[in-house]
């Protein structure tokens, strides 16, 4: 689920131990959260078109998920370094092409 000691295939099933945390880390912030956590929470509590304020932007995972879910987002980050890294990450994400493939 994320690059940490507890990994799984979903938010509900995040119980697989990974003792080699350093082998699968590619983080820009020390407390970076996986997209799946934000998808789970936002889909249950925030309607499309609502406003979200994140006062600790960090890696910007919540910003990316809000963008994908059509939720208005405002983020604040005190560290210029983390802000710049988050901006690169977000701009890279939104510049990617989306393929909508239906295999059924």
Q: What is the CATH number of the domain that holds 73?
A: 3.40.50.150
Q: Please indicate, yes or no, if residue 100 is contained in any of the structural domains.
A: no
Q: What pLDDT tens digit does each residue of the chain (104 aa) get?
A: 444 455 556 666 655 555 555 555 567 888 888 889 999 999 999 999 999 999 999 999 999 999 999 999 999 999 999 999 999 999 999 998 877 788 77
Containing domain of residue 67, as a range? Answer: 29-94
Q: Please indicate, yes or no, if residue 72 is contained in any of the structural domains.
A: yes
From CA 23, how far away is CA 39, in angstroms rounded?
Answer: 25
Q: Please indicate, yes or no, if residue 62 is contained in any of the structural domains.
A: yes
Q: Check: CB of residue 54 under 8 Å from CB of residue 75.
A: yes
DSSP state of 34: P
Q: Count how many domains the chain has.
A: 1
The reported pTM is 0.72
């Amino acid at each position: 689920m994320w690059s940490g000691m507890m990994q799984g295939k979903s938010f509900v099933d995040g119980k697989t131990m990974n003792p080699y945390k350093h082998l699968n880390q590619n983080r820009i912030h020390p407390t970076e959260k996986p997209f799946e956590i934000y998808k789970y929470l936002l889909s249950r509590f925030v309607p499309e078109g609502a406003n979200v304020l994140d006062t600790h932007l960090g890696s910007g995972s919540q910003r990316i998920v809000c963008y994908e879910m059509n939720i208005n987002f405002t983020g604040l980050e005190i560290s210029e370094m983390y802000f710049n890294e988050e901006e690169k990450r977000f701009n890279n994400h939104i510049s990617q092409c989306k393929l909508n493939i239906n295999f059924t």
